[in-house]
Amino acid sequence: MLNINELKKYPIIYIIGHRHMDADTVISSYLLSKILNKQGIKCEYAILDKDYNIVYGDYDLIKDNVTNYKPTVIKKENINNNYFILVDHNDPLQSIDNEKNVVGMIDHHFIDKKQPNYLIGDYASTSLFIYQLYKNTYDFSDYEKALILYTVLSDTTYFISSRYKEKDDQIVKELNEKINLNFEVLKRKYFKTTDFSIDIETNFKSNYKRYKFDDLEFESSFVRANREDDKYLNEYLEYLKKIPQNWLFIWYQFDDNISNAYFKNNNVIKEINYDYIASRANDVIKDIVEIK
C-alpha cells in the first residue's frame, strides 16, 4: 500500500489518471480518493482543464454507470503548485508532464524504473489492483465492486485480451458473487469497434498515449476493427508513414482475435504480429523496448 504517513505531509493531493480517459482511469481515481480520505489523507480525484476527454469506446459505459463522477478541475498553469498521485499510468507525460510533483502512483502497466511509493501490479486493471491492496482495510460497497468489474471488462476487451489472467478471474468471481453482473449483456451493450466513417486523422489518434523509455520516446494509438474493416488498414499505414514523429500504431481485429503492431522509429516501420489480442503496455511495448 501507499505510505500513509508520508502522504499526510501534504495539505491536499490530487489523484489523476491519463489524459484520454477510459473506464479504469476514471474509476481508479475516484476509488483511490475515497480510500485515502478514509485513511485521513485529504485528496480529491481530478482532471486537467485542457486535453482531457473520455475515449469513444468507453463513453457510454462511463456515462451510464459512473453516476457521481465529478472531478476537480486543475488548471494547467497551476500544476507546479499542487501534488499528485498518478493512477492507471506511470509516466507524467500522459498527464501532468511534471515528475517533480508526483508523490505516489498506482498502476498496472509496464514500467522500466522503480521509485518509492510507486506501486505496480500485474492485474487486469488498476482498479482491480487497488481492490487487492485495500480490500482488508476498506469496505467496498456493491456499487464500487460493480465499478471495478466495469474496468476489468474495458481493459481486457471483455476478457479477450492477453492481460486477463487466472488470478484476475478469481478476483472477478469474488467481486461478482453477490451483485451478479451479466457480462455478456454488458458486452453486447457497450463493446464498440472503431467507427471507420470518421476521418483517419481523428481515428488514428484514438486511445492516444505518449511514452518515454530512456532515449526512446514515441506516441501511440490503436483502433478496433472487424474483419470487414481490414480494407481500411492500408490507408492507416499510409497515414502512419506521413506523420513526422515516432509512433506505435496497433490494429486490433476481433473477428480473428489478432493484433498487428506497427512501430515507426526514425522513419523506419517495424511490424509485429500477434495471434491474440495483445496488451499494448504489457505485450507490445515490452517487445518494442527490447528490440529498439
pTM above 0.75, yes or no: yes
Are residues 113 and 217 located together in one domain of the fold? Answer: no
Are residues 20 and 89 located together in one domain of the fold? Answer: yes
Are residues 138 and 184 located together in one domain of the fold? Answer: yes
3-state per-residue secondary structure call for the chain: CCCHHHHCCCCCEEEECCCEECHHHHHHHHHHHHHHHHCCCCEEEEEECCCCEECHHHHHHHHHHCCCCCCEEECHHHHHHCEEEEECCCCHHHCCCCHHHEEEEEECCCCCCCCCCEEECCCCCHHHHHHHHHCCCCCCCHHHHHHHHHHHHHHCCCCCCCCCCHHHHHHHHHHHHHHCCCHHHHHHHHCCCCCCCCCHHHHHCCCCEEEEECCEEEEEEEEEECHHHHHHHHHHHHHHHHCCCCEEEEEEECCCCEEEEEEEECCEEEEEEECCCCCHHHHHHHHHHHHC
Are residues 93 and 231 located together in one domain of the fold? Answer: no
- What CATH number is associated with residue 43? 3.90.1640.10
pLDDT greater at residue 281 or residue 173? 173
Mean pLDDT throughout 147-174?
A: 98
Domain interval for residue 246: 200-291
pLDDT at residue 292 is higher than 70: no
pLDDT at residue 113 is higher than 70: no
Of 189, 212, 242, which one is at a domain's C-terminal end?
189
The pLDDT value recorded for residue 205 is 84
Overall domain count for the chain: 2
Domain contains 195: no
